[in-house]
Amino acid sequence: QNIFKILKDYHNKKFKTLYLEESILKKLLNLENLIEKTINPNTPNIITNGDVINAGVEPELDRLRDIKNIKKEEIVKLQLNYVKETQVGNLKIKFNNIHGYFIEVTNKNSSKLIESKGKIFNLIQNTMNASRFQTPELLKLTKDIQESEFLALELEQKIYKDLCKEIRSASTIISLVAKKIANIDVIANFAHISKTNNYVKPKLEEKIKIIEIVDGRHPIVEESLKKDALNFIPNNCSMDDKNSLWLMTGPNMAGKSTFLRQTAIIILMNQIGCFVPASSASLSIFDKIFTRIGASDNLAKGMSTFMMEMVETSRIINNASEASFVILDELGRGTSTQDGLAIAQSVLEYIFKRINCLTLFATHYKELCKITEHISEIKLKTLEIKRWKNEIIFLYKVVDGISEGSFGIHVAKLAGLKENLIERSREILSSPSDVNEKNFELDLDLDNPQIESKEKNEDIINFIKDLNADEISPKDALDILYTLKKNFID
């Protein structure tokens, strides 16, 4: 209610559409009061258990409930009378769903009830330790209580159904209010995250095929890095009708996939009406966003990773339009190099010549970059790196050019692969590519931790010895520390 009053004071036209008229608010408040007045806040989970309706709602319901309470008081008095008449101190009146209310005494006292002359005690059950009796008074009380409970439950269900009918009659109003509250909730959350994370308002372009993002960021990765007190490295993305396809190569772990995803996320955030994680952004409206990222399979349907890759690519080819945005990451990696390269090139050519939509196409096939010799409009992009001795430092910046390599061995080292295997991988990489018996080493001491520890220490010492402290900038020093931490500690 307070939210709608606040919105009424705003002069923004869009906010006015979220405002509720006083008459609608009044109806909802009346319905709210009716629900609170009728329904017991501590109601059981199942309506058939009763006690769903509050006291004071219906006099007849209160009377029926009182019958049970009054009769229970009579049962207490009866128990005292029976104890006095039979002189059995441990006589108890109990209840179960089979007999209703009954008298229970120990077996040794059962004869006193059977031989009693003042009252008629009918033996109904013997157990191992106790005898159970029934009297005409208890039978009547059981009947009265059960009948009042049945009538009370029946009346409760009627009151509950009438309330539900009242709510259903207001379903149109409730649906309208729910939609307005949902919109307010979304807008409020957009405003909160935009202000908290320093997002900016994007400019909407009337023309299709325009992406102009300055210092774009991945909102999820950025938030994750903040937890480790690290800063996200932003990147620009400038695409239009004459610059519609980026062919991206880059090392593993350099940030290609993050860049692809962040661009798609920024476009999506723009189209749902949220500010975007960037310094500035001008964006067209896209009819669809298509992505083919990551390796996956569908074993339940008998589809391999490559089959799923082709199915998803086929959907893109068949459904993308000039106003779509397409991301393809490592297309063709699920099959042989020759087949994968051929498929990747044919898809790339088709998207450029037939669909002609804005596309980010990431690949490990460096041979694919030769396509720019025939199609100059395709732009080659890569991720910047810095070499430091035998180490690779990722700078996570998108730049013009072609990747020097995938640096897979470097990534394997970062992942903690044994140093012996890393060295052996380098030897094999520098040797002829044909596999033969001379390429195999059978005397690798892979399980000797002392050798690995010694090699690791020597690497650190040599790394530090080669540093020239007088020529290192603060930024380079920070990069070196991160490299040491990743390679030798983590």
Task: Give the strand pairing for 379-388 and 391-400.
Answer: antiparallel
The per-residue pLDDT for range 210-243, each reduced to its tens digit, is: 999 999 999 999 999 988 888 999 999 999 999 9
Residues 379-416: pLDDT tens digits?
A: 999 988 887 766 778 889 999 998 876 667 766 776 67
Q: What top-level class would CATH report for the domain 1-196?
A: mainly alpha
**Using CA atoms, how far apart are residues 415 and 486, in angstroms rounded to an integer?**
9
Statement: residue 283 has pLDDT above 70: yes
CA distances from residue 468 to 366, 463, 464, 484 in whole angstroms, order as listed: 35, 11, 9, 16
Q: What is the pTM of this model?
A: 0.67
**In one letter, which amino acid is 96?**
N
CA atoms of 19 and 4, how far apart (whole Å): 6
Tell me how far CA of residue 41 lies from CA of 52, 116, 232, 408, in angstroms: 8, 49, 49, 62
Crossing angle of helices 59-86/136-169, nearest 10°?
160
Distance CA 50, CA 152 (A): 8
Could you tell me if 226 and 217 are in contact, meaning their C-beta atoms sit under 8 angstroms apart? no
What does each C-alpha distance from 389 to 463, 467, 474, 484 come to in angstroms?
Answer: 8, 9, 18, 13
User: How would residue 297 be classed by pLDDT, with cut points 50, 70 and 90?
Assistant: very low
Burial class of residue 190 (count of CB atoms within 10 Å of its CB; 0-12, 13-18, 19+)? middle
6 vs 25: CA distance, rounded Å: 14
When the pLDDT of each residue in the chain is averaged and rounded to a whole number, the result is: 84
Residue 436 pLDDT? 47
Most confident segment among 27-41, 42-56, 373-387, 418-432:
27-41
Lowest mean pLDDT, pick from 160-164, 245-249, 283-287, 383-387: 383-387
Share of the chain above pLDDT 90, in %: 42
Q: Which CATH class is domain 201-406?
A: alpha beta
Q: Taking a C-beta distance cutoff of 8 angstroms, is the pair 38, 132 a contact?
A: no
| Euclidean distance between CA atoms 277 and 285, whole angstroms | 17
Return the structure tokens found at 24.
């609608």
* Residue 168: other Cβ atoms inside 10 A: 10
Q: Residue 248's beta-bridge partner residues?
A: 362, 381
The CA distances from residue 290 to 271, 274, 332, 421, in Å, are 15, 20, 17, 39
Which of 132-146, 273-287, 354-368 is most confident? Answer: 273-287
Residues near 259 by beta carbon (within 8 Å), at least 6 away in sequence: 235, 237, 248, 360, 383, 398
Q: Which of 80-89, 429-438, 455-464 has the lowest mean pLDDT?
A: 429-438
pLDDT at 314: 93
Torsion of CA 451, 456, 457, 463, to 10 degrees: 140
CB 184 within 8 A of CB 192: no
Per DSSP (E only), the strands in 88-244 are 92-96, 100-106, 122-126, 130-134, 203-204, 211-216, 235-239
Distances (CA, A) of 342 to 180, 189, 331: 52, 46, 10
* Mean pLDDT calculated for residue range 292-302: 58
